[in-house]
Amino acid sequence: MMSLARLALERVERGLQADLNAIPPWQWAIYFEELSRLCSSLLAVVAGEDFVRQRNALRVELVPSTAPRCSRRPPDGRGLAWLLSGGSALSYGACCAAKCPRAR
């Protein structure tokens, strides 16, 4: 029997719409690598002003990465309000299988 996650991936391969909200959390955890690329909560981090401000100076913080972020893991608990008010996507939690809200 085919799982909902596998069905969604095959529908996307054929150019059809897939309902990612119907996939159970345990299937998200198994197929996370494939499904995370299709997730509507994925935020791409663009190297912009946050990277420009860090010149030759003493760095006490980690260098920001361009790894994708999850809009379901906001810094202030208000969803996309932070991003829409001019905040950086770097403030959102990283998109990873261990902390994915869809995989819990």
User: Which pLDDT score, from 0 to 100, does residue 87 have?
Assistant: 82
Place of tokens 């008010």: 85
Domain residues of the chain, as ranges? 1-38, 42-104
pLDDT in tens, 1-31: 889 999 999 999 999 999 999 999 999 999 9
Distance set, CA 79 to CA 19, 22, 72, 82 (Å) = 21, 21, 6, 7
pLDDT in tens, 71-83: 999 888 888 888 8
Place of tokens 């860090």: 54
How much is the pTM?
A: 0.73
- Greatest Cα pair distance, the chain, in angstroms, is 57
* Three-state DSSP state, 87: coil
Residue 99 one-letter amino acid = K
d(C-alpha 78, C-alpha 37), whole Å:
23
